[in-house]
């Protein structure tokens, strides 16, 4: 079986779909037995990586260990693919490895991890995401704000109100949207204050946030 799986992995590297697609199907049919060899695939060439990481969620729980190994490989492309795969598996075991990846030196990996944590919807991610929002570069902080809005935990409100006053308009807009998703009436005045924000993108986010409050109230009638 080991030789057969190794041969299938080598076929997975082919650029010819007629070769790599049947190999992928056979690897999935082999289930968890294929997971460990596939973990070696994930930190090689990018196209190879994407195919392997796409297969691992279909294997399921047995693929989590290999994917966590890939997260710690140091290869940023492979890490992003592994994060996406863990998100698709959606198992609570993935939570702590994904939180650990928030300290990755690669911004793309951190952003992928933030999106995955939002997808998992576990409130243990709130505090780490708050720290990212407060301390990371703007592009990553914006992703953290969106994720905190999606998680809907009111513990994030003070940080989001702080972000609503940030000099960077991208973060102000993301904070307004996030506060709209959370929907705490105590934030309404702070959000309304930005109806005249100098950036049209922020004004649009504010109007959308206020619309979320309106829709929510209609739903409670």
Q: How far is CA 110 from CA 84, 92, 98, 114, 129, in A?
A: 12, 19, 9, 6, 10
Same domain, 97 and 29: yes
pLDDT at 15: 75
pLDDT tens profile 52-91? 677 777 777 877 887 888 888 767 888 888 898 888 888 8
pLDDT at 41: 55
**Residue 73, domain CATH:** 1.25.10.10
Same domain, 114 and 135: no
- Name the domain boundary from 101, 120, 139: 120
Same domain, 106 and 193: no
In this structure, of 7-21, 58-72, 101-115, the range with the lowest mean pLDDT score is: 7-21
Per-residue pLDDT at 33 exceeds 60: no
Q: How far is CA 105 from CA 4, 9, 53, 102, 109, in A?
A: 37, 30, 21, 9, 8
- Identify the domain containing residue 144 by its residue range: 127-221
pLDDT at 9: 66
Same domain, 52 and 111: yes
Same domain, 85 and 9: yes
Same domain, 216 and 113: no
Same domain, 113 and 156: no
Same domain, 95 and 174: no
In this prediction, residues 124-142 reach a mean pLDDT of 98
């Amino acid at each position: 079986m080991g030789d057969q799986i190794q041969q299938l992995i080598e076929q997975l590297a082919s650029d010819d779909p007629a070769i790599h697609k049947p190999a992928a199907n056979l690897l999935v049919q082999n289930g968890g037995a294929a997971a460990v060899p596939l973990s070696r695939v994930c930190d090689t060439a990018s196209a190879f990586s994407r195919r392997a990481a796409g297969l691992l969620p279909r294997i399921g729980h047995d693929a989590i260990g290999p994917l966590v190994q890939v997260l710690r490989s140091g290869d940023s492309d492979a890490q992003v693919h592994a994060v996406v795969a863990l998100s698709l598996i959606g198992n609570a075991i993935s939570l702590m490895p994904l939180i650990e990846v928030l300290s990755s030196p690669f911004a793309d990996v951190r952003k992928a991890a933030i999106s995955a944590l939002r997808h998992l919807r576990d409130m243990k991610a709130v505090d780490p995401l708050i720290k990212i929002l407060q301390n990371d570069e703007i592009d990553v902080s914006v992703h953290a704000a969106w994720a905190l809005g999606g998680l809907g935990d009111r513990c994030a409100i003070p940080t989001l109100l702080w972000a609503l006053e940030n000099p960077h308009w991208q973060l102000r807009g993301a904070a307004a949207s996030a506060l709209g998703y959370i929907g705490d009436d105590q934030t309404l005045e702070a959000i309304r204050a930005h109806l005249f924000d100098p950036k049209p993108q922020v004004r649009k986010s504010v109007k959308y946030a206020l619309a979320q409050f309106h829709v929510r109230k209609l739903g409670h009638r």
